[in-house]
């Protein structure tokens, strides 16, 4: 016993170092796995408050650009609205069941945005009390941004599309070929898409949209355009470089998409997933 104590005292630096290092590595490994509640997170009230305070200071500088963005979006939405009103006029509704919506949108502001790391996160100024919760899709007026991974009372953390842990089902706008998109960590303006069959009509400049196969994003959220493409080693799938519509380095106002029928769809899928031994969530 005495020897053990002597040993610990003599090598106390190394012992303390190894203990703390294993704790830090534990946090690191936890951070590299998706869908796990994390200890180290910017959504706590101290860091969240500081980030939101510093964001408030800088907010006035790009008010003009943000106004422009919102105006453009309003213009586009008004055009869509008048077009769909025209359509509705021509259809006589015979069904007595009211048409209800599947998605609800909420707005939030980005208070911290990383894009220089391998795995990037975004912090928003809204949390549980504003209806934000895990697995909501986040978009900006131009396109896809990320998925809410964790929400505290007043802040939420979004896993950015610029993160190796996030894969999103997207595809070509002009045909129904879908693949999975994930970032290779290099350029924050381009993102990589794999698993598109070589028979798909791929051309430079084509638009990529979300596939709508998950409960997170509805179909048709714009992602980007095809910048370049090659065939993979097996010569059966395309490796596509997408130029994002969104400037991920300059995000301010974003929208969260809540799927209102999520529980209902999950309850339908659950028995099947138990059969396949594949849990849908977590």
Positions in the binding site for other proteins (CB under 8 A):
12-14, 16-17, 20-21, 23-32, 38, 40-42, 44, 46-47, 50-51, 54, 112, 114-119, 121, 123, 157, 185-188, 249
Terminal alpha carbon distance of the chain? 45
- Residue 52 or 207: the one with the smaller Cβ distance to other proteins is 52
Q: What's the closest the beta carbon of residue 11 comes to other proteins, in angstroms? A: 11
Q: What's the closest the beta carbon of residue 228 comes to other proteins, in angstroms? A: 19
- Residue 11 or 103: the one with the smaller Cβ distance to other proteins is 11
- Residue 12 or 261: the one with the smaller Cβ distance to other proteins is 12
- Residue 23 or 268: the one with the smaller Cβ distance to other proteins is 23
Q: What's the closest the beta carbon of residue 52 comes to other proteins, in angstroms? A: 11
Q: What's the closest the beta carbon of residue 132 comes to other proteins, in angstroms? A: 16
Q: What's the closest the beta carbon of residue 23 comes to other proteins, in angstroms? A: 7
- Residue 12 or 274: the one with the smaller Cβ distance to other proteins is 12
Q: What's the closest the beta carbon of residue 17 comes to other proteins, in angstroms? A: 4
- Residue 52 or 169: the one with the smaller Cβ distance to other proteins is 52
CA distance 175 to 6: 72
Q: What's the closest the beta carbon of residue 42 comes to other proteins, in angstroms? A: 5
Q: What angle do CA 80, 86, 89 make, to 5 degrees?
A: 140
- Residue 120 or 140: the one with the smaller Cβ distance to other proteins is 120
Residue 168's alpha-carbon distances to 54, 219, 225, in angstroms, are 31, 12, 16
User: Closest Cα partner for 148 from 72, 264, 262, 241?
Assistant: 262
Residue 249 half-sphere exposure toward CB, CA atoms < 13 A: 6
- Residue 211 or 248: the one with the smaller Cβ distance to other proteins is 248
**CB-CB neighbours of 71 under 10 Å:** 11
Q: What's the closest the beta carbon of residue 243 comes to other proteins, in angstroms? A: 14
Instruction: Specify whether the CB–CB gap between 220 and 176 falls below 8 A.
Output: no
CA distance 152 to 220: 29
């Amino acid at each position: 016993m005495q020897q053990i104590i002597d040993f610990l005292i003599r090598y106390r630096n190394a012992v303390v170092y190894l203990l703390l290092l294993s704790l830090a590595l534990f946090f690191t490994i936890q951070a590299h796995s998706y869908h796990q509640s994390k200890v180290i997170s910017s959504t706590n009230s101290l860091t969240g408050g500081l980030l939101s305070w510093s964001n408030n200071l800088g907010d006035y500088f790009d008010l003009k650009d943000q106004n422009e963005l919102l105006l453009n979006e309003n213009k586009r939405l008004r055009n869509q609205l008048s077009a769909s009103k025209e359509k509705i006029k021509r259809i006589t509704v015979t069904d007595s069941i009211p048409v209800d919506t599947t998605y609800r949108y909420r707005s939030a502001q980005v208070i911290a945005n990383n894009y220089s790391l391998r795995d990037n996160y975004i912090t928003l100024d809204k949390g549980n009390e504003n209806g934000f919760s895990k697995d909501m899709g986040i978009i900006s007026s131009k396109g896809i941004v990320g998925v809410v991974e964790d929400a505290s009372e007043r802040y939420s953390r979004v896993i950015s599309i610029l993160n190796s842990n996030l894969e999103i089902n997207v595809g070509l706008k002009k045909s129904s070929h879908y693949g999975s998109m994930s970032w290779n960590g290099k350029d924050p303006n381009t993102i990589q898409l794999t698993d598109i069959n070589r028979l798909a009509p791929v051309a430079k400049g084509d638009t990529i949209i979300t596939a709508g196969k998950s409960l997170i994003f509805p179909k048709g959220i714009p992602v980007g355009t095809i910048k370049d493409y090659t065939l993979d080693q097996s010569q059966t799938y395309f490796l596509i470089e997408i130029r994002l519509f969104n400037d991920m380095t300059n995000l301010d106002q974003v929208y969260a998409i809540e799927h209102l029928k999520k529980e209902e769809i999950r309850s339908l899928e659950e028995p099947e997933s138990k059969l396949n031994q594949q849990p849908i969530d977590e």
